[in-house]
Amino acid sequence: MSFSSLGLSPALLRALKSKGYSVPTPVQSAAIPAGIAGRDVLGSAQTGSGKTIAFALPILQRFDGSPATQPRLIKALVLVPTRELAAQVGESFRELASHLPHPPHLASAVKVTVVFGGVSINPQMLGLRGGTDIVVATPGRLLDLIDHNAIKLNNVQTVVLDEADRLLDLGFSEELGRIFSLLPKQRQHLFFSATFPPAVERLANALLHDPVRVAVETTPDSAPDIAQRAILVDAPKRTQLLRHLIDTNAWQRVLVFVATKHAAEIVAEKLRKARINAEPFHGELSQGKRTQVLADFKASRLRVVVATDVASRGIDIAELPVVVNFDLPRSADDYTHRIGRTARAGESGIAVSFVSAATEPHFFLIRKRQGLAIELEHISGFEAMELPSTAPRGDGGIKGARPNKKDKLRAALINASKP
């Protein structure tokens, strides 16, 4: 199957060709025709499967040949959980839209505006003068702009939730409920994520009308080529082991995941003292610093980035060879998203998890839920001396099914969002 068989316009086919895309991925093949037809879509596929293009192309198809309104009116709203993903999705829209025909007096056929917090709101308000066609936003900043009368949602035709599970997990339920209450009753929904836990399913069932369900299962042939390892090591020796692995394997770029911003700062500092070029990456850094760290990492000016889970969703780092779980992720789904930062676009990669005696039960549960066959390794010189905990661990630390504050907010969101 080719993109030309999906009903796309010649201009968008040229845009895809210029980007080197010739054959659609399974999620794109199933979602694009449904999106073009105006159907609601619930898309689930593994990390790195091309979900952004799957929802961007149907939206842009409607602008091909359509005269731009003056002022421009927001026709599509894309909601994402993080600033970096917002910037990445916005850039994808702009690149694909660059080939659409437009009159000489307009700079482009489609104006795409990206808004997120952590930076001054004033330049974003100035950028919205004269309107815009597509908004890619994090929920909090979108509401800030609505409160400043810089954005109106009454003409939105299509709403996208990208990384829908992460949006809900990060506690955006209240914000999403308010946003949905401001949208037209008649609208198209495109929900995409690598995982669809029960909370997202309930929201989808409440909002989507007769959706096309696109569930691309991971098979041995389609699974990312990731060599997964788990090493048993005492917690205090993890930084030394990380340095050892970086040096002995000559890893040139490594993304290291930790549990907290404090850990990100500490581990990065210890690596720098060992003359390994490293920087922390977490939600409390300024947006300028976060942007610079990612740019330096992508350009190989940084060898190691030590990150919290803010880096586990949607961030596309070409040819990233190694991911290390310095701290194990809280959930099995987060494990999938973390290691999915490597082995993208057909490349191969390595994912290493550090496991201590205290976190061993948690690792076993992740392994069971993911259906993995990873055996614990022992590295000479870093043999674990700590004894496993005998205290009961319940569900091993992975998020359970008991309703909590977030669950109650999600339920309120579903009720507030019903057309």
Q: Which residues pair with 256 in a beta bridge?
A: 306, 324
Taking residue 126's Cβ as centre, other Cβ atoms within 10 Å add up to 9
Q: Hey, how many other C-beta atoms are within 10 angstroms of the C-beta on 235? A: 16
Strands 158-162 and 134-137 turn out to be unpaired
Above 90 in pLDDT, residue 161?
Answer: yes
Contact 328, 359 (CB under 8 A): yes
Q: What is the pLDDT of residues 337-378, one digit of tens each?
A: 899 888 776 688 999 999 999 999 999 999 999 889 999 999
Give CA–CA dist 209/212, Å, rounded.
9
Q: Which of 75-79, 296-300, 363-367, 398-402 is least confident?
A: 398-402
Phi, psi torsion values for 53, nearest 5 degrees = -65, -30
CATH topology of domain 225-377: Rossmann fold (3.40.50)
Place of tokens 């991911």: 323
Among 198, 237, 230, smallest CA distance to 376 is for 230
Q: How far is CA 206 from CA 139, 202, 413, in A?
A: 20, 6, 10
Categorize the per-residue pLDDT at 312 as very low, low, confident or very high, splitting at 50, 70 and 90: confident
pTM: 0.77
The set of residues, in sequence order, having a beta carbon less than 8 Å from that of 332 and lying 6+ positions away, is 365, 366, 369, 370, 398
Measured at the alpha carbon of residue 194, what is the angle toward residues 189 and 198, in degrees to the nearest 5? Answer: 70
Mean pLDDT across the chain: 87
Tell me whether domains 3-219+409-417 and 225-377 share a fold: yes
Is residue 416 within 8 A of residue 180, CB to CB? The reply is yes
Place of tokens 């907010």: 409
**What are the boundaries of each domain within the chain?**
3-219+409-417, 225-377
> Which fold does the domain 3-219+409-417 belong to in CATH?
Rossmann fold (3.40.50)
C-alpha neighbours within 13 Å on the C-beta side of residue 370: 23
The answer to whether residue 190 scores a pLDDT higher than 90 is yes
Please give the C-alpha separations between residue 6 and each of 29, 254, 303, in angstroms, as whole numbers.
7, 38, 41
H or E segment at 254? Answer: strand 254-257
pLDDT at 102 over 60: yes
The single-letter DSSP state of residue 326 is S
**Whole-number Å distance between alpha carbons of 349 and 338:** 12
Q: CA nearest 223: which of 2, 47, 21?
A: 47
Question: Residue 307, SS3?
Answer: strand
Residue of 49 and 173 predicted with greater confidence: 173
User: Side chain identity at 226, as an amino acid letter?
Assistant: I
C-alpha to C-alpha distances, 107 to 61, 63, 235, 286, 314, nearest whole angstrom: 18, 14, 55, 31, 29
pLDDT in tens, 4-23: 999 999 999 999 999 888 89
- Tens digits of per-residue pLDDT, 34-71? 999 999 999 987 666 788 999 999 999 999 877 777 78
Distances (CA, A) of 258 to 305, 308, 309, 311, 328: 10, 5, 8, 11, 8
Question: Chain centroid to CA 386: how far?
Answer: 36
> What pLDDT does residue 344 have?
74
Contact 112, 129 (CB under 8 A): no
